[in-house]
Structure 1
């Protein structure tokens, strides 16, 4: 019978990863308990072992690219993870009472971290890199593309579900002359967002999306659907529908997974996004039925790799000036988060979709605009 190390070594060989090898993506093991941790608890064990300095990889993003592209993760199905999977299916982890947890845990950690990591507009979603040279330009192009897809015109009233620090609302108000209302569950985002959007026709509300009940010419949601949870997809689409005028448009921007029958990543759920859940294309499609017509579906998931790498570069560069607020374990946790996700998008294990939806279908059709 092979040891845990031998079994892991055999698995990693299928991904062209060597233990204590000399390539950037090879796994440097400092404590052999990491093998049992990874086999018994999957990515939760692997991530916690990394945070505890039990192993390293010179290029963590490339390590995860090799790992996920090979598909070997499907060969490890730890029994301990079954409870995590069942929990997300049985319980509503994104109910009204639990929905505020991610705001407190993640988005309210302090604006200094996000100001140092993100672009100048503080866009915390995937940039659009087709013609961009850096993350500032990629995010500006993404915001412009969203405005064009929605066909914004002066005087329109726009709802932003999960508005963050108001980057889209600020851009749309400044460049398209629209009025915006944004909802978020983060007190820190509201405070800084109001400051950044001072003097603009932009309103921030600290509010759960389920409480919305008024109509807008256009509705947008950038990177918030990942916090909704499959038990609430129908309710979410009901809210979006009742808030979108009959001749309006709704743009849904969300990370997506390739297979429906998978649970949320336990390490990400514990340390980064509590109760988060990535939807599949069929889950979104089912939630849309009898509510919206899909006018356009655009996948630019590979662009999230570049976005995350840019965020890590900014974070790493700014660490000396912000580390007094955190500790070394936080640095390794945040590095693991950003670079493991970059590797996952590079491997095309997860996607980024923009859906343009209309309540009844656009007469004459819809043509995706170009930058």
Structure 2
């Protein structure tokens, strides 16, 4: 796109004052309106700046889905924006009700908890198979010694098995088991039996294929609050983000109830840097309904008196690489899904994957693995050398 003059730029905003304000804010992130660099924002229609300033990421994201603006390197656009903390400078008054709703209502109640399965995880197993690794692992990979997505995901699964010190014959509970990648890996390589629970019908149907292969894994279409059996170890990989702050304590109580004495519980979750924050309104509306990222303090409060924290490991920067690998797979496979989902879905999914990659790149959000025990491990927990 040719570089536009400042006079031409102003026709893409509601008024010159808004344009000047946006120009000043974006300059802090070294982003230019209609600039020539790949991370610069390109305005295609009027009103984008007004929507962004008045509605925050909700307005910015919807304008992108509508095709009203673009950036060649959308991930780098957001990384720069977040590193400059521009999101903290824009507090739209229109989102006050969204913030109050997130703090006061139980958006992850038993009835509402199933919404994310229907909206997000049930898009189609073929769609996720095209985007993810060969085991269909929809969580952060571990890239320390990995060069491919498959290697990173297997390294993550093995890391979890080793942290839990799994041994043949153990019975494991997987809370939020997804497509069963952990259960299949643990059963194949460590000789354990697994029970996985999910709120996605598509994931449950996929799990039946694994069960037909003779693996000792069981899929249940079930809410975590309904589980009451005892297990030698518990794992939860990328599910706690859907629990919600009003349910954190109950979640930990369920894990405590189901974990045998002497066993360990590994919690793998995305987390935020601050305790008091509001879920992103665009992500909440279009990607993960009722999601709520926890802080370290909130997890600590929920586990207090129930668990001893044996280990806490942050490898959030690895999620940037994971999301970019998913994005590359998504772009490659997109032609086969265009007729099913359409252009607006494509722009929505691109916005989701690349903006989230940017958030991890900017260290705005984290990925933690907690190792918890009920009474503390005598002599202390021996952290892996990795």
Band the TM-score falls in, shorter-chain normalisation: over 0.9
3-state SS of the aligned residue for 2:271?
strand
Query: 1:229 and 2:229 equivalent?
Result: no
* TM-score, normalised relative to structure 2: 0.95
Match of 1:355 in 2: 370
- What is the distance in 1 between the residues matched to 2:268 and 2:57? 26
Structure 2 counterpart of 1:89, from 83, 103, 110: 103
**Aligned structure 1 segments of 4 or more residues deviating by more than 6 angstroms:** none
1:175 to 175, 189, 212: 189
1:80 maps to which residue? 94
Aligned pairs (5 A) from 1:165-314: 165-198=179-212, 199-314=214-329
> Alpha carbon RMSD of aligned pairs, Å?
0.9
Q: For each residue in 1:230-289, what CA deviation from the matched residue of structure 2 results, as whole angstroms up to 9, or x when unmatched?
A: 000000000000011110000000000001111000000000000000000000011110
Partner of 2:31: 17
| SS of residue paired to 2:370 | strand
- SS in structure 2 of the partner of residue 80 of structure 1: helix
1:111 and 2:125 aligned: yes
**In structure 2, distance between residues paired with 1:148 and 1:23:** 45
Match of 1:38 in 2: 52
Structure 2 unaligned blocks of 5 or more? 1-14
- Conserved 8 A contact 2:116-2:288: yes
Aligned residue for 2:173, secondary structure, equals strand
CA distance in 1, matches of 2:385, 2:187: 20
Deviation at 1:74, TM superposition (A): 0.6
Deviation of residue 368 (structure 1)? 1.6
Q: Aligned partners of 1:210 and 1:6: how far apart in 2?
A: 51
Residue 2 (structure 1) shift:
6.0
In the TM superposition, residue 370 of structure 1 has moved relative to its aligned partner by 3.5
Distance 2:377 2:337 in 1: 49
- The worse-fitting range, judged by mean Cα deviation, of 24-33 and 163-172 is 24-33
Identify unmatched segments of 5+ residues in structure 1.
none
Q: Which residue in 2 is equivalent to 1:364?
A: 379
Aligned-pair CA distance for 1:353:
0.2
Per the normalisation by structure 1, the TM-score is: 0.99
Q: Does 1:328 align with 2:340?
A: no
Report the equivalent of 1:125: 139
Q: How many residues are treated as equivalent by the alignment?
A: 371
